[in-house]
């Protein structure tokens, strides 16, 4: 994390020194009020970038990027994209674009919402119990109907 603070200092130092050099008189060192104001603004902006959470997010992003770009991941991704691109024919893209419309997505959303409301744990348990209870009756009814059909067809 300290390297980001050093990086920030190295970023601001050339700006600060060049502004100082422009405002310097021959014998004394003066800094113009606009340079100080500009520097204060840059420091305030840099505070967000150099905050602990931002630095942590940057480190996480760089670590993830390094993982994705190292080893065989990049080549595997390229191969995958090459293979998939062969599947995306104009006919398939056209067919999919006809299916994936705002209306279809809204309908699918309604179906999922209704299924979520309907498929409670209690409903699922009751349905499983009902199926288990009815199965022997259906088997018996099948035997009776089979016997009747045999008698009628004989």
**pLDDT for the residue numbered 23:** 47
**pLDDT for the residue numbered 6:** 54
> CB–CB of 108/99 below 8 Å?
no
- How far is the C-alpha of 101 from the C-alpha of 107, rounded, in Å? 10
Both ends of the chain: CA-CA distance in Å? 90
Copy the structure tokens of residue 84: 């998939």
Q: Is the pLDDT of residue 16 over 80?
A: no
pLDDT (tens digit, 9 = 90+) per residue, 44-68? 888 878 888 888 898 999 988 888 8
Model confidence, pTM: 0.31
Confidence of residue 84 (pLDDT cuts 50, 70, 90): confident
Q: Is the pLDDT of residue 131 over 50?
A: yes
**CA distance readout (Å), 19 to 7, 29, 30:** 19, 11, 10
**C-alpha 133, offset from chain centre:** 45
> CB–CB of 58/4 below 8 Å?
yes
The domain ranges of the chain are 2-90, 120-154
């Amino acid at each position: 994390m300290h390297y980001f603070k050093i990086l920030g200092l190295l970023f601001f130092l050339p700006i600060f020194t060049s502004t100082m050099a422009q405002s310097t008189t021959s014998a004394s060192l003066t800094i113009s009020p606009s340079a100080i104001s500009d520097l204060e603004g840059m420091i305030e902006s840099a505070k967000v970038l150099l905050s602990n959470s931002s630095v942590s997010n940057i480190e996480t992003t760089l670590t993830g990027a390094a993982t994705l770009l190292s080893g065989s991941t990049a080549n595997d991704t390229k191969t995958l994209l090459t293979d998939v691109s062969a599947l995306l024919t104009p006919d398939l893209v056209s067919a999919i674009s006809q299916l994936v419309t705002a209306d279809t997505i809204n309908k699918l959303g309604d179906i999922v919402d209704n299924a979520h409301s309907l498929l409670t744990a209690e409903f699922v348990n009751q349905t499983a119990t009902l199926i288990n209870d009815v199965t022997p009756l259906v088997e018996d009814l099948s035997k009776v109907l089979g016997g009747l059909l045999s008698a009628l067809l004989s």
